[in-house]
Amino acid sequence: MRLTGKDLAIKDCDFVAEGKAPADIVKQFVEHLRSEHGIDMPDAEDILDREELEPVRVPGSRPDEQVQLVVTRLREELGLQTEPS
């Protein structure tokens, strides 16, 4: 598996994540987005464990549209998106 910052429509991001499983890709992107873009991403486990399309929130913070958009794109690109019940 391979996913780039451009796949996620992250402006000016040439980062490439590679791995055998979606978890590998999500973990790499969470680390990259936190350290290089200053985006307050939730933990990779929280992104991977979502069962519904509710907003993902970093504990102690308010919902962030940028974070929600990146999480949604990550899940879509990796085939993790689930339909609302």
pLDDT at 17: 98
Q: Is residue 26 part of a domain?
A: yes
pLDDT at 83: 58
Q: Are the C-beta atoms of residues 1 and 20 closer than 8 Å to each other? A: yes
Q: Is residue 83 part of a domain?
A: no
Q: Is residue 59 part of a domain?
A: yes
Q: Is the pLDDT of residue 68 over 70?
A: yes
Q: Is residue 85 part of a domain?
A: no
pLDDT digit string, tens, across residues 5-32 = 999 999 899 999 999 999 999 999 999 9
Q: How confident is the model at residue 74 (pLDDT cuts 50, 70, 90)?
A: very high
Q: Is residue 40 part of a domain?
A: yes
SS3 sequence, the chain? CEEECCCCCCCCCCCEEECCCHHHHHHHHHHHHHHHHCCCCCCHHHHHCCCCCCCCCCCCCCCCHHHHHHHHHHHHHCCCCCCCC
- More reliable by pLDDT, 56 or 3: 3
What is each CA distance from 30 to 46, 62, 66, 83, 85, in whole angstroms? 11, 18, 13, 23, 27
Q: Which domain holds residue 48?
A: 2-77
pTM listed for this prediction: 0.80
Q: Is the pLDDT of residue 53 over 50?
A: no
CB atoms within 10 A of CB 70: 23
CA distance 64 to 40: 9
Domain total in the chain: 1
